[in-house]
Amino acid sequence: MAQTDKKTIILFSGDFDKVLAAFVIANGAAAMGDDVTMFFTFWGLNVLRRDRRTATPGKGPLQRMFAVMMPRGPKKLSLSHMNFAGAGPVLMRKMMRSVNVMSIDEMMATAKEQGIKMIACTMSMDVMGLRREELIDGLEYAGVATYLGEADEANVNLFI
């Protein structure tokens, strides 16, 4: 069978545990030589936020409120279960270190080194009022048509 080994992952979730799973799969596939595209949408965009507040003049009050309430970057993410007001992720990180699993920060750096294409969903950014200057460098910006084009070329497409 003629076959591609390209992989795509839509990262919709911003939960610490799901983000971790997404990067483990993405980095694993890239390490095996596959092309990988990650498409960040909705809560998944929070993973891409810079950890410092960015000046964003001209935002409306709703967009400001969302920006304040949503986590900024991988260090601020919550667990989908057993979050315990932030204690859960602290414990999870500790357990990850104790068995030599990379942090999400390190996994993101590895993803970049391995050439994983990271696309921020522009429609979600518009809806949530996120601007490019609030997100980390090295991203591409596109919508659902681009995602679908990538998925058509892939043999594994996951929604996380």
Quick check: 69 binds a copy of itself (CB under 8 A)?
Answer: yes
Q: Compute the distance between CA of residue 128 and CA of residue 115 in angstroms, rounded to an integer.
A: 27
Residue 4 interacts with a copy of itself (CB under 8 A): yes or no: yes
Integer Cα distance of 128 and 116 in angstroms: 25
Give the rounded distance of the alpha carbon of 131 from its chain centre: 16
Determine if 87 is a binding residue for a copy of itself (CB under 8 A): no
Residue 28 CB neighbours (<10 A): 12
Minimum separation from the CB atom of position 51 to a copy of itself (A): 19
3-state secondary structure (DSSP) of residue 68: helix
Task: By CB under 8 A, tell whether 157 contacts a copy of itself.
Answer: yes
DSSP codes of every residue in 101-144: PPPHHHHHHHHHHTT-EEEEEHHHHHHHT--GGGBPSS-EEE-H
Minimum CB separation from a copy of itself for residue 158, in Å?
A: 4
Q: Which of residues 95-154 bind a copy of itself (CB under 8 A)?
A: 95-96, 98-99, 101, 123, 126-129, 143-145, 147-148, 151-152, 154
| Beta carbons within 8 Å of 2's beta carbon, 6+ residues apart | none
With CB under 8 A as the contact rule, which of the stretches 47-55, 91-99, 112-120, 133-141 interacts with a copy of itself? 91-99
155 lies in the site for a copy of itself, by CB under 8 A = yes
Out of 37, 41, 67, 104, the residue judged to bind a copy of itself by CB under 8 A: 41
Count of beta carbons in the 10 Å neighbourhood of residue 6: 18
Q: Which residues bind a copy of itself (CB under 8 A)?
A: 1-5, 7, 10, 12, 14, 17-18, 21, 24-25, 28-29, 32, 34, 41-43, 60, 62-63, 65-66, 69-70, 80-82, 91-92, 94-96, 98-99, 101, 123, 126-129, 143-145, 147-148, 151-152, 154-160
